[in-house]
C-alpha cells in the first residue's frame, strides 16, 4: 500500500447478518472470494487506497460490522466516527431489504451530530433466479432515503470496485464543497500527506491543521 | 579521554577487530561464563569489565574501569570488583540463560549491548553524559541511593532493586542505557519499558522533532492518537524517499497500522470509554451504602489490573520456538468462557518462527550472512508489529465478547485474572523475541561496522519496549469493560 493519500475516509459497512458484508470487503481489499466465512464478531477492519483522480488517492479505512443482532449494542458504538458507509442487503433475502430503513435510522441516530453518507448495496446479484427484491423497488427506496443504489456480487466481482468508488467520490465532492469538514475528535475524514507533485493543487494547501515539523 | 577514544576506535574498526587481542578476551569471557556463570562474584565481574571498553563514557569512573578492563595500561588500580556485585548478579543471570541456549553467542551478544549504548550515545547526539545524568537524576525516582559522581563506588546501591541499583551504579546517561540494555537481556520487562521511556527522553534531547512527539505523548489522551501521530510521522518521512519498499519494511508504526493494530486499538478505546461512562452512571443511581458495597466488590476486579508482576526467573528459557507461548495463550483463551480463540495470535507467532528459521538457515551459509542484517532487523520489527497488533486485536475481541455476554460475577473475576496473565505472557514473548532477533543480529553482524549494526539493535529493543507498553495499555483499557460486566451481573443478582 502506498503511503501517500490526500484524505482518509472512514467507512462503515452495515446490514443484516449473512448479506455478505465481509465478502464484499474481502473482494474489494484482497481480491479474493471465499464461500464460507465465520460470522464477524463486533467489528473487523480493512483498508485500501482508491485513486479518484490521477495522482489523488484516498485511503479508505473500512469498518466491517457484525450483522448479528447480539452484537448490535456494540456495533452502535462504532458508528460515530464514520463519514459514510455501505448499507448492504441481500437481493435473495427479502427480510434484509425490509430492514434497510431500520439500519439507516439507527446509523443516523448514532452519528449525531455528524452526517453520514450511505450507499445502498443490493448484494448477490449473481443469483438472479433467487432474487426477491427488484431493482425498481430498491432504487425507489434509495431515492426516498437520499442514497444512491448499486447491485453487486462479491463472488463474480461485479460492481465491487464501483460501489466503493461511487461512495468515495460522493464523499470527496462533499468534502470539497465544504459540506463535510475535517473536525478535531472525529475520525470520519482526515487529511493525509501530500506528495510534492501535487503541491499546486488546492488540496495541498487546504489541510492547514497538518504541520510538517 | 583520549585513552577511551583509542579503545573505541580499536574496537569499532572491524578489520582490527578480527585480529585484535579482543578476540582473545572474548573467548576468555566465554570460558568464564561456561565455568562460573552461577558465581555472581568476581568471575562474572571480570567478564563484565571486558565489555566495558566498548562503551564510550567519558566520566571519571568509567575511565578507571576501562583502564582496568584493558589490563594493559592503568591496571586494576581503583576499585575492588565486588563494587559491582548487584549488577553482576544480573549479568550472571543473563549469562546463565544464554549459556543454556547459545553459549557460542555470549560474547557477541555482549558486544551487541555495548553497541546499543554506543548508538544511543553517538547517533542520538547526546549533549554530554554528565549533563544527562543530572537530567536523569531528576526524573528517576527509583534512584535514591547514589549520586552521579560517586555512583560507581556506592556499595549499597548494588543491593537494591535492579533498576535503581543499575542506575545508581553508573554515573552517566550512557550507562543508564547500558544498564538498561543489560536488564533487558537479563529478562526484565519492566526494563523494556524503562529503556523505552528513557530512550524517549534521550532522543528528545538530541532531536527536536522527536521532542515534539514526546510532548505530544504527554498532551494527548489516548494511546491510539499517539501511535497514529507516530505512524503519520513515519509516513511523512518515508513519502520523501524513493526507495519506499525497502525502507518501509522496517517501520513499526506503519506496519502496526497496516496490520490493523491501530484500528483495533481505537475500537477498544471506544468500548473502554463507553464502559467507563456506563460505570459512572451506574454509580450515580446508587445510594451511599449500595455504592460502597459495589465499589468494594469492584476492587476485586481492579486487583487483577494492578498486580502485574513479571517473574524474571521464568524467562530463562529463551530458546523455545514459541510452542510454550502458543500453548499458554490457547489455554488462557479457552478459560475465558467466551467464544474467543487465540488463533490469530498463534498464527502470528508461527509466522515469526518461520522468519526466524529462514534467518537461521541463511546464517549458516557464511556468504549470505553478511547481507542479512537488514533482513533480520526488518523481520524483527515486523514480528513485533504483527504480534502486538494481534495482541491488541485479541483484547479488542475480548472486550466485544465480554460486553455482549452475561457472565456471573465470579466468571468476570476469573476473566480479569486470565487477562492479566495473558498480558504477562504476551509481554514476555515480545521480550523473548527481541532477544532472539538481536542475538541473531549480533552473531551475523560481527563483520559489520558498529554504525551499521547499532541502530538496528537499538531499534529492535525500542520497538520491543513500545510493544510491551502498548500491550499493557490495551490491557488497562479492558478494566472498565470488565467492571461494567461485573456490575451487570451484580445488578441481576441484587
The reported pTM is 0.65
Q: Does A157 touch chain B (CB under 8 A)?
A: no
CB pairs under 8 A between A and B: 59
Residue A53, phi-psi category: left (phi > 0), alpha (psi -120 to 50), beta (remainder): beta
Q: Is A197 on the interface with B (CB under 8 A)?
A: no
- pLDDT tens for B195-205 read 555 455 444 44
- B291 has pLDDT over 80: yes
**Residues A8-42 as b or e (16 or more Cβ within 10 Å = b):** bbbbbbbbbbebbbbbbbbbbbeeebeeeeeebbb
Point out the residue among B209, B235, B267 whose CB comes nearest to the CB of A43.
B267
Which has the higher per-residue pLDDT, B480 or B190? B480
Angle, CA A101 vertex, CA A96 and CA A105 arms, to 5°? 130
In a domain, A18, yes or no: yes
**Minimal CA–CA distance to B267: which of A187, A111, A192?**
A187
CA distance B167 to B173: 9
* Predicted complex: ipTM over 0.95: no
Mean pLDDT for chain B? 65
pLDDT at B369: 55
Q: Quick one: which of B158, B181, B178 has its CA closest to B168?
A: B158
Q: How far is residue B219's CA from residue B224's CA, in Å, rounded to a whole number?
A: 13
Q: CA nearest B220 in A: which residue? A: A185
Please report the residues numbered 70 through 99 in chain A whose beta carbons come closer than 8 angstroms to any beta carbon of chain B. Answer: 70-71, 73-74, 77-78, 81
The kind and range of the H/E element at A14 are: strand A7-14
Q: Do B266 and A2 touch (CB under 8 A)?
A: no
Q: pLDDT tens digits for A139-188?
A: 999 999 999 999 999 999 999 999 999 999 999 999 999 999 898 888 89
Whether the CB-CB separation of B482 and B444 falls below 8 Å is answered with no
Does A105 score more than 90 pLDDT? yes
Q: Provide the CA B197 distance to its chain's centre, in angstroms.
A: 10
pLDDT for B24-46, tens place per residue? 443 444 444 333 434 433 333 33
The answer to whether position A204 is within a domain reads no
The residues, any chain, with a CB within 8 Å of residue A11's CB and separated by 6 or more, are: A60, A61, A62, A63, A82, A83, A84, A85, A86, A164, A167
pLDDT above 80 for B68: no
What are the Cα distances from residue A177, in Å, to A6, A53, A200? 16, 16, 19
**Range from A144-148, A194-198, B467-471, B479-483 carrying the lowest mean pLDDT:** A194-198
Q: B370 pLDDT band (50/70/90 cuts)?
A: low
Contact B400 A43 (CB under 8 A): yes
- Are A195 and B270 within 8 A, CB to CB? no
- Residues in chain B with CB shorter than 8 Å from the CB of A42 are 267, 396-397, 400-401
Nearest to B239 among A3, A73, A78 (CB): A3
Evaluated on CA atoms A178, A184, A186, A192, the torsion sign reads positive
Q: Say whether pLDDT at B265 is over 50.
A: yes
In angstroms, rounded to a whole number, what is the distance separating the alpha carbons of residues B99 and B106? Answer: 7
Number of structural domains, chain A?
Answer: 1
Residue A146: its pLDDT value, please?
A: 94
Domain annotation covers residue A83 = yes
CB B197, CB B180: distance < 8 Å:
no
Highest mean pLDDT among A29-38, B110-119, B261-270, B433-442: B261-270
Nearest in space to B275 (alpha carbons), one of A74, A199, A131: A74
The answer to which of B136-140, B378-382, B435-439 has the lowest mean pLDDT is B136-140
**How many residues are present in chain B?**
494
pLDDT above 50 (res B220): no
Query: Cα separation of A100 and A108, whole Å?
Result: 12
- For residue B264, the chain A residues in CB contact (below 8 A) are 45
Find the helix or strand (DSSP H, E) in which A118 lies. Answer: strand A117-123
**Which CATH number belongs to the domain containing residue A114 in this structure?**
3.40.50.300
Where does the pLDDT of residue B358 fall: very low under 50, low under 70, confident under 90, or very high at 90 and above?
A: confident
B284 phi/psi in degrees, rounded to 5? -70, -20
Q: What is the average per-residue pLDDT within B254-275?
A: 94
Distance CA A86, CA B372 (A): 45
Of B80 and B198, the structure prediction assigns the larger pLDDT to B198
pLDDT at position B221: 55
Q: How many Cα atoms within 13 Å fall on the side-chain side of residue B402?
A: 33
Tell me whether A43 touches chain B (CB under 8 Å): yes
Classify strands A84-90 and A117-123 as parallel, antiparallel or unpaired. Answer: parallel
Q: Within a domain: residue A198?
A: no
Dist. CA A62–CA A67, nearest whole Å: 15
Q: Is A61 near chain B, with CB under 8 Å?
A: yes
How far is B326 from chain A, CA to nearest CA, in Å?
Answer: 22
pLDDT at residue number B58: 38
Measured between beta carbons, which residues in chain A are less than 8 angstroms from residue B209? 213
| Domain around A136 | 7-191
For residue A15, the SS3 value is coil
Is A210 part of a structural domain of the chain? no
pLDDT, position B311 = 57
Q: Among A59, A67, A27, which residue's Cα sits nearest to residue A43?
A: A67
* Residue A193 sits at the chain B interface (C-beta within 8 Å): yes
Q: Which of A42, A78, A192 is the closest to B397 by Cβ?
A: A42
With a cut of 70, say whether residue A94 has pLDDT above it: yes
pLDDT score for A130 = 95
Residues B12 and B158: their CA atoms lie apart, in Å, by 30
What pLDDT is attached to residue A170? 95
Please answer yes or no on whether B209 and A77 come within 8 Å at the CB atom.
no
* Predicted confidence (pLDDT) at residue A195 exceeds the cutoff of 90: no
Q: Where are the beta strands (DSSP E) in B347-479?
A: none
**Cis amide linkage into residue B174, ω under 30° from 0:** no
pLDDT at position A179: 92
A29, A30, A67, A74: best to mutate for the B interface, most B CBs within 10 A: A74
pLDDT in the model for residue B143:
41
Measure the CA–CA gap between B250 and B186, rounded to whole angstroms: 26
pLDDT at B179 over 90: no
- Report if residue A108 sits inside a domain: yes
The answer to whether position A70 is within a domain reads yes
Amino acid at each position: 500500500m502506498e503511503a501517500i493519500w490526500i484524505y482518509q475516509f472512514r467507512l462503515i459497512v452495515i446490514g443484516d447478518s449473512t448479506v455478505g458484508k465481509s465478502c464484499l470487503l474481502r473482494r474489494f481489499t484482497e481480491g479474493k472470494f471465499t464461500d464460507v466465512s465465520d460470522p464477524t464478531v463486533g467489528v473487523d477492519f480493512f483498508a485500501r487506497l482508491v485513486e479518484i483522480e490521477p495522482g489523488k488517492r484516498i485511503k479508505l479505512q473500512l469498518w466491517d460490522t457484525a450483522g448479528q443482532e447480539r452484537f448490535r449494542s456494540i456495533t452502535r458504538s462504532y458508528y460515530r466516527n464514520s463519514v459514510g458507509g455501505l448499507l448492504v442487503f441481500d437481493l435473495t433475502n427479502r427480510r434484509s431489504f425490509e430492514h434497510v430503513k431500520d439500519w439507516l435510522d439507527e446509523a443516523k441516530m448514532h452519528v449525531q451530530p455528524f452526517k453520514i453518507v450511505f450507499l445502498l448495496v443490493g448484494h448477490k446479484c449473481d443469483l438472479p433466479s433467487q432474487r426477491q427484491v427488484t431493482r425498481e423497488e430498491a432504487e425507489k427506496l434509495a431515492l426516498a432515503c437520499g442514497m444512491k443504489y448499486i447491485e453487486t456480487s462479491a463472488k463474480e466481482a461485479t460492481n465491487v470496485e464501483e460501489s466503493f468508488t461511487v461512495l468515495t467520490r460522493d464523499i470527496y465532492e462533499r468534502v470539497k464543497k465544504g459540506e463535510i469538514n475535517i473536525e478535531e475528535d472525529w475520525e470520519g475524514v482526515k487529511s493525509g500527506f501530500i506528495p510534492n507533485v501535487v503541491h499546486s493543487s488546492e488540496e495541498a494547501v487546504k489541510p492547514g491543521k497538518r504541520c510538517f515539523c | 579521554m583520549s585513552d577511551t577514544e583509542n579503545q573505541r576506535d580499536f574496537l569499532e574498526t572491524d578489520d582490527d577487530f578480527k585480529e585484535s587481542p579482543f578476540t582473545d578476551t572474548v573467548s576468555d569471557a566465554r570460558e568464564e561464563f561456561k565455568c562460573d556463570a552461577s558465581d555472581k562474584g568476581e568471575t562474572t565481574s571480570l567478564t563484565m569489565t571486558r565489555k566495558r571498553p566498548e562503551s564510550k563514557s567519558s566520566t571519571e569512573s568509567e575511565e578507571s574501569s576501562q583502564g582496568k578492563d584493558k589490563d594493559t595500561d592503568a591496571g586494576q588500580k581503583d576499585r575492588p570488583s565486588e563494587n559491582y556485585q548487584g549488577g553482576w548478579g544480573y549479568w550472571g543471570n543473563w549469562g546463565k540463560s544464554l549459556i543454556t541456549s547459545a553459549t557460542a553467542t555470549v560474547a557477541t551478544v555482549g558486544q551487541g549491548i555495548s553497541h546499543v549504548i554506543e548508538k544511543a550515545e553517538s547517533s542520538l547526539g547526546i549533549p554530554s553524559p554528565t549533563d544527562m545524568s543530572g537530567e536523569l537524576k531528576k526524573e528517576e525516582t527509583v534512584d535514591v541511593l547514589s549520586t552521579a559522581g560517586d555512583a560507581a563506588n556506592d556499595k549499597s546501591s548494588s543491593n537494591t532493586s535492579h533498576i535503581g541499583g543499575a542506575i545508581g551504579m553508573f554515573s552517566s546517561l550512557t550507562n543508564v542505557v547500558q544498564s538498561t540494555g543489560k536488564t533487558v537481556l537479563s529478562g526484565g520487562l519492566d526494563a523494556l519499558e524503562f529503556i523505552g521511556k528513557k530512550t524517549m527522553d534521550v532522543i528528545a534531547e538530541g532531536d527536536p522533532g522527536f521532542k515534539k512527539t514526546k510532548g505530544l505523548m504527554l498532551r494527548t489522551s489516548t494511546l491510539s492518537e499517539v501511535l497514529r501521530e507516530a505512524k503519520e510521522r513515519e509516513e511523512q518521512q518515508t513519502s520523501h524517499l524513493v526507495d519506499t519498499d525497502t525502507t518501509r519494511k522496517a517501520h513499526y508504526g506503519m506496519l502496526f497500522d497496516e496490520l490493523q493494530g491501530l484500528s483495533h486499538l481505537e475500537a477498544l478505546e471506544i468500548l473502554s470509554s463507553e464502559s467507563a461512562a456506563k460505570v459512572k452512571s451506574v454509580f450515580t443511581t446508587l445510594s451511599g451504602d449500595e455504592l460502597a458495597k459495589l465499589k468494594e466488590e469492584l476492587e476485586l476486579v481492579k486487583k487483577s489490573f494492578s498486580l502485574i508482576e513479571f517473574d524474571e526467573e521464568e524467562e530463562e528459557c529463551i530458546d523455545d520456538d514459541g510452542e510454550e507461548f502458543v500453548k499458554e495463550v490457547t489455554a488462557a483463551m479457552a478459560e475465558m468462557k467466551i467464544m474467543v480463540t487465540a488463533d490469530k495470535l498463534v498464527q502470528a507467532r508461527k509466522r515469526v518462527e518461520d522468519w526466524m528459521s529462514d534467518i537461521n538457515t541463511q546464517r549458516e551459509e557464511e556468504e549470505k550472512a553478511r547481507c542479512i542484517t537488514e533482513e533480520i532487523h526488518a523481520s524483527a520489527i515486523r514480528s513485533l508489529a504483527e504480534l502486538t497488533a494481534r495482541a491488541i486485536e485479541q483484547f479488542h475481541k475480548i472486550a466485544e465478547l465480554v460486553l455482549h455476554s452475561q457472565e456471573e460475577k465470579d466468571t468476570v473475576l476469573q476473566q480479569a485474572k486470565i487477562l492479566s496473565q495473558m498480558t504477562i505472557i504476551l509481554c514476555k514473548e515480545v521480550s523473548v523475541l527481541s532477544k532472539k532477533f538481536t542475538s541473531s543480529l549480533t552473531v551475523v553482524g560481527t563483520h559489520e561496522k558498529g554504525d551499521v549494526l547499532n541502530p538496528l539493535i537499538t531499534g529492535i529493543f525500542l520497538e520491543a519496549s513500545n510493544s510491551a507498553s502498548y500491550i499493557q495499555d490495551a490491557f488497562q483499557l479492558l478494566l472498565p469493560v470488565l467492571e461494567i460486566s461485573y456490575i451487570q451481573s451484580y445488578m441481576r443478582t441484587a
